[in-house]
Amino acid sequence: MYTQSKSLLEQNRWRIIDQSSVGPHFDALQSFAIDDTLCSSVGKNEDVTTARSWVHHNTIVLGIQDTKLPYLTDGVRYLQSQGYRVIVRNSGGLAVVLDEGVLNISLIFPDTEKGIDINRGYDAMVELVKHMLSPFHLQIEAKEIIGSYCPGSYDLSVAGKKFAGISQRRVRGGVAVQIYLCVTGSGGERANLIKDFYNKSIKGIQTKYVYPDVKPETMASLNELTGESSTIQDMMLALLTTLKNMSTSIYSSQLTADELAIFEHNYKRVIERNEKALSI
């Protein structure tokens, strides 16, 4: 059982599932089904706290609230015309961009008897990123960046420019804390894409829900912030080094046979939910 004084990153063992170089055919819907599967697995067996890394190519992930946009069809068609696949995720938040320059990390913990409160899960991810990026000596802040896409109280930024966003999902005794980390490319170009999506999906109509007024100058990639040429592989090395330093051991793994059976069920359900959400 965890104590409040102990960092969630300090584990006896970290199981590592690296899917950061699977390639363009890797479906983002699979990722959400995999994390749900790992939540179930970790929830049953507390000694297999898991870190999963993943990269998806040219995918826009919408939040459930985005499916209520008045002209969603026009927005989705625009994104598709720009070469992006559009899906709806099963956790909170709003539209985000995933591409080959964005590293996603999921930390999956057992939700113990006393429970892991929401902020503690977020704080663990902030701690991880600060350790990973310590060689750059950045002043990283965790606060909402107004004007970014998918704004939230745990946006990670440097000098007011957001480079990462964190979300959290709880399933069957497990907690998945997820982050998208914009490593390479242009934060402004990604933001412009989402800005255009909202413009085409709203067309100036008054909506019940307040969608972000995206300002491209509020977003950047790590490379833009540091002036360096870091790669996804560089960040993967930083991730593995950090977790190794915070634990007794780390080991590489893939889904087990039992987990694969659960995954197939979860993946089918995610696909059905996605089709229903995008039945426009």
Q: What is the chain's mean pLDDT, rounded?
A: 92
In a domain, 222, yes or no: yes
In a domain, 50, yes or no: yes
- Residue 30 has a pLDDT of 96
Residue 7 within a domain: no
Residue 249: inside a domain: yes
Q: What are 186-205's pLDDT values in tens digits?
A: 999 999 999 999 999 999 99
Distance of alpha carbon 273 from alpha carbon 280, whole angstroms: 13
Residue 213 has pLDDT above 90, yes or no: yes
**In contact, 46 and 110? CB cutoff 8 Å:** yes
CATH number of the domain enclosing 71: 3.30.930.10
CA atoms within 13 A on the CB side of 13: 11
Answer yes or no: is 4 within a domain.
Answer: no
Q: Is 150 a catalytic residue?
A: yes
Query: What is the span of the domain harbouring residue 76?
Result: 12-277
Residue 39, domain member (yes or no): yes
pTM equals 0.94
pLDDT higher than threshold 60 for residue 3: no
pLDDT of residue 6: 77
H-helix segments, 51-117: 72-81
Tell me the percentage of the chain whose pLDDT exceeds 90.
81
**pLDDT interval class at 120 (50, 70, 90):** confident
Residue of 98, 132, 133, 150 marked active site: 150
Task: Look at residue 2 and tell me if it is in a domain.
Answer: no
**Distance between CA 183 and CA 23 in Å, rounded?**
17
* pLDDT above 80: residue 2: no
pLDDT tens, 262-271? 999 999 999 9
Q: What is the DSSP string of 26-69?
A: --HHHHHHHHHHHHHHHHH-TT--EEEEE--SSEEEE-GGGGG-
Number of domains in the chain: 1
Of the listed ranges 9-13, 79-83, 105-109, 189-193, the least confidently predicted one is 9-13
Q: Comparing C-alpha atoms, which of 129, 131, 160, 134 is closest to residue 147?
A: 160
Instruction: Write the pLDDT tens digit of every residue in 128-171.
Output: 999 999 999 999 999 999 999 999 999 999 999 999 999 998 88
Q: Check residue 44 and give its pLDDT.
A: 85
Q: Is residue 6 part of a domain?
A: no
The residue length of the chain stands at 280
Confidence band of 93 (pLDDT split at 50, 70, 90): confident
**163 and 156 Cβ atoms separated by less than 8 Å:** yes
